[in-house]
Structure 1
Amino acid sequence: MGAAGLRALLLLLLLGVPGRPQPPPEGPPSLCDPRVIERFILEAREAERGAAACGPPCDLPEPVAVPDPGVNFNLWRGLDAGARAREVAAGQAALVAAVLRARELLREPRVRPSLERAYGTARSLARLLRGLPAAAPPPAPVRVRSVPRLLGVLSRFLRGKVRLYLADTCPR
């Protein structure tokens, strides 16, 4: 399934998805369906691989702020559900803004498909997470200066904080 097919599927998923990720009684899978997050992760990894060998043409003329994708498990376990949701929402908002900024800064044809794929993934996930509490800016964001690093952060964020949040939030 290509990027257009994935976007069409995600638009279908948006219909009837409640504010908090919960599986609907019947119908299309929700964000709590593990296949959905795995698809987002696959898209992010494909975008990252697509830009991996780009080299200097993928360097950004200015750094962009991204959330720290690392997870301190002791700290994470100590957060209440609202704090976890705010952290994911803030990180997701920062990633959407960073990918959008990178798209504005770079016109390199070799990197455009990877940036478009990453932007589509980040925006689609943001729509699915739209019921999370209002996002405050993440504390001490990381700054990256290349598209491969930006896409690596997106991939790690999905595999780490988003996956942990869903594991805590979604019914088993």
Structure 2
Amino acid sequence: MGAAGLCAALLLLLLGVPGRPQPPPETPPSLCDPRVIERFILEAREAERGAAACGPHCDLPEPVAVPDPGVNFNFWRSLDARSRAREVAAGQAALAAAVLRAREQLRDPRVRPSLDRAHGAARSLARLLRGLAAPAPPTPLPPPGPVRVRNVPRLLGVLSRFLRGKVRLFLTDSCQSSALRAVNHHR
């Protein structure tokens, strides 16, 4: 096969053969795939490590409010699925707002990459969580007690703990419930 034939064959492979069905576009990753949340956690930890030694230029002029990332397991177990979804969504929204506020307050180019990564991850997570979130419960939950942080490493640490705690628990619960519903539906 000559060079022209090889180029034509490569073009057909890359662009597809006319009239032949094309493979479906890739679907977005499922949050029920544990690798997805692990990737978010890894990125949060990398951002946290990237900002860990930044010193005084990572101090925020004004503290930002973030949700308490700790998990009270007795309280968590007492919540229904909608309340858990709401708690995770509210915490995620508060963290995204805190990261955005920190980005506005700090213009130092040494800090920006960590904050930009954290903000991008928070936005991506929000989009993915919308697919699992249940409608808001009829009675609102009290807002989680905000913690105030005064520097970027602490902010990113809260984000990392929130992902490893409440988000991971929520996904585990939601995905197990979805799997059980699917099994029962096929019976």
| TM-score, normalization by structure 2 | 0.74
- Paired AA for residue 123 in structure 2: R
What's the offset of the Cα at 1:140? Answer: 1.9
Question: 1:21-55 deviations in whole A, cap 9, x for unaligned?
Answer: xxxxx955301100000000000000000000011
Question: What one-letter code is carried by the residue in structure 1 that aligns with 2:168?
Answer: R
Q: CA, structure 1 residues 102+28, in 2 after alignment: closer, same or farther (shift >3 Å)?
A: closer
- Give the % identical residues: 85
Q: Could you say what secondary structure the match of 1:69 adopts?
A: coil
Q: Which has a greater percent of helix?
A: 2
Measure, in 2, the Cα distance between the counterparts of 1:137 and 1:105: 28
1:139 equivalent among 130, 137, 144 = 144
Please name the residue that 2:122 is paired with.
122
CA separation in 2, counterparts of 1:36 and 1:96? 18
In structure 1, the partner of 2:88 is 88
Deviation at 1:109, TM superposition (A): 1.1
Give the paired residue count: 147
Letter in 2 for 1:160: G
Is residue 2:116 matched to residue 1:111? no
Q: What is the root-mean-square deviation in Å for CA atoms of aligned residues? A: 1.8
Pairing 1:153–2:158 present: yes
| Segments ≥4 residues shifted beyond 3 Å | 26-29, 133-137
Aligned twin of 2:44: 44
Flag the 1:124–1:137 CA change in 2: closer, same or farther, 3 A: farther
Instruction: Note the C-alpha offset of 1:136.
Output: 7.0
Equivalent residue of 1:110, what SS?
Answer: coil
- Within 5 Å, which residues of 2 pair with 1:69-88? 69-88=69-88
Distance 1:34 1:95, change over 3 A: same
Q: Deviations 1:89-148 (Å, cap 9, x if unpaired)?
A: 000000110000000000111111100110011110011112424597733211101000
Task: Name the aligned partner's letter for residue 143 of structure 1.
Answer: R
Q: Secondary structure at the match of 2:130?
A: coil
The TM-score, its normalising length taken from structure 1, stands at: 0.80
Q: Distance in 2 between matches of 1:60 and 1:45?
A: 20
Question: Quick check: which has more Rg, 1 or 2?
Answer: 2
- The 3-state SS of whatever aligns with 1:102 is helix
Assess, with a 3 A threshold, how the Cα gap between structure 1 residues 127 and 136 changes in structure 2: closer, same or farther.
Answer: farther
Name the amino acid aligned to 1:127: R
Cα displacement (A) at 1:70: 0.1
Where structure 1 has 5 or more consecutive residues not aligned to the other structure, the ranges are 1-25
Alpha-carbon distance in structure 1 between the residues aligned to 2:78 and 2:174: 15
